Amino acid sequence: MEVGGDGDSGRKHFVLVHGLGHGAWCWYRVVTMLRAAGHRATALDMAASGAHPARLGEVRSFEDYSRPLLDAVAAAAPGERLVLVGHSLGGLNLALAMERFPRKVAAAVFLAACMPCAGKHMAITLEEFMRRITPEFFMDSKSIVLNTNQEPRTAILLGPKLMAEKLYDQSPKEDLTLATMLVRPGTQFIDDPIMKDETLLTDGNYGSVKRAFVVAMDDASSNQDMQRWIIDLSPGVEVEEIAGADHMAMCSKPRELCDVLLRIAAKYH
């Protein structure tokens, strides 16, 4: 999902990354609004997500999963600086791209997202989230053992009841219906070596990119306490709040989210 540029220096290019099991499709409202405001907007499918042709068992690593974003950032025109937006698990895709290509990123926005900090391993926020939830959290979601060329890996297919009660509970019913039709199995890659590497994210690269965290105030899956814990890992990060937003803030509060993104982007070049 992309629209071409026109060379206007005030025109931003937003690159949006979905969370677990989702795809570019979940950004359809916000992409439309950003484009209507005169900006470029590119919503990406990570590997084996959305309309991406790979199957999850074929995706060997978190880096392979992140490849669509890494390739998109690498391909940015000379002098172009992107505004990256990551939702939920998508924050970790952003972190990897920021570490690799810090000079191509004007700002990174973490929407109710995993936002790691330099000097600590990327999985720290995932581990804390898993520590806080109860075994019943995933409700009717299905656990799937992937057939891979490596050791067997487990994926999860988000269940309709989980999505209705903890992800899309403030969103239009049509968006929940769309999600039940389009979600695919996903994995957090929590045991991937890249997730355990405490030297991966550096102050000089990842830490040099301007970051903002957007709190979804009515998130029933990653509550405010969890989101504030993530923010506290990175003192000085800009914080915005969206009242009434569930975990899928791009569906429940698309106009408010678009306004926040435009406000953040206007500060950085």
Q: Return the active site residues.
A: 88, 219, 247
* Rounded distance between C-alpha atoms, residue 240 and residue 261, angstroms: 10
* Rounded distance between C-alpha atoms, residue 234 and residue 204, angstroms: 15
Sheet of 40-44, strand order: 40-44, 13-17, 82-87, 105-111, 210-216, 238-242
* Rounded distance between C-alpha atoms, residue 26 and residue 177, angstroms: 12
Tokens of 9: 């220096």
Q: Within its chain, how far is the Cα of 165 from the centroid?
A: 20
Tokens of 55: 């199957």
The sign of the torsion formed by the CA atoms of 53, 59, 62, 68 equals negative
